[in-house]
Structure 1
């Protein structure tokens, strides 16, 4: 199992990711957690939960979907799945499908498995699963595989201009 290392609280290291730079610029408290990423891991999110020693319901994955022709971000617990119909409804859309991976990478500025809801190249409409509100802090990608940000849900919502909705489904 990969060992997790906590980084500096509330500060991005020199040359941080766009996510950590955005949080630092706004003075948002966060803790950076690094772990040795295994490229053969079946699930990046479940790998992160195990490496960090936290339950999978506190680690959230960032997924990019196409809702009626507009790229939209859904942030859901790693142990579950994104309910595309619920995501579409949350943003007033009718149809949703997972976005083309190349379009997701190009638009967010991050690679798959490391897409952060924070500091994206182009700010997309974002919906965070309502379950995030039941935790004092949650974990989201910091913008690269093997690096997670621990942040208060209220700060995540504010920094992404997100709304909450029940968009996650258990596997």
Structure 2
């Protein structure tokens, strides 16, 4: 695929990381866990991850936006809220990538105010060089440089989410 400059993580590598993260999450919790996927990007990663968590889980989704095109607006908006109450529950937020940290910082505060017993974050990727606010992330798959990555849920203009790997998108596509 000519639009992909480089494959960073193959499907096999991502699946192995999901197994490792699932084992860690299983070891860290007792009882029921509310797993909250952030739409749309987290869906492929979350689908693989939850198969590896050996606990009773409830899944739910939120859709939030802080991006316009390829840049963040800095303002986080909830487009779809949770169906389940978080009060008194252990909550695991699942995200595809942590970039500026603004979205997850905002969501963590919202869920704390709603009375969650505990809140942890699991992200397939993190880009620490882009961070604007600190986000305490307990479970991270991979740390990546400041490159435009797609695949395994991550997109550019809604394309490339279905790639079974994580790759760097060629600048020619988005510049």
| TM-score over 0.5 for the pair | no
Q: Which has the larger radius of gyration?
A: 2
Q: What's the TM-score, normalizing by structure 1?
A: 0.30
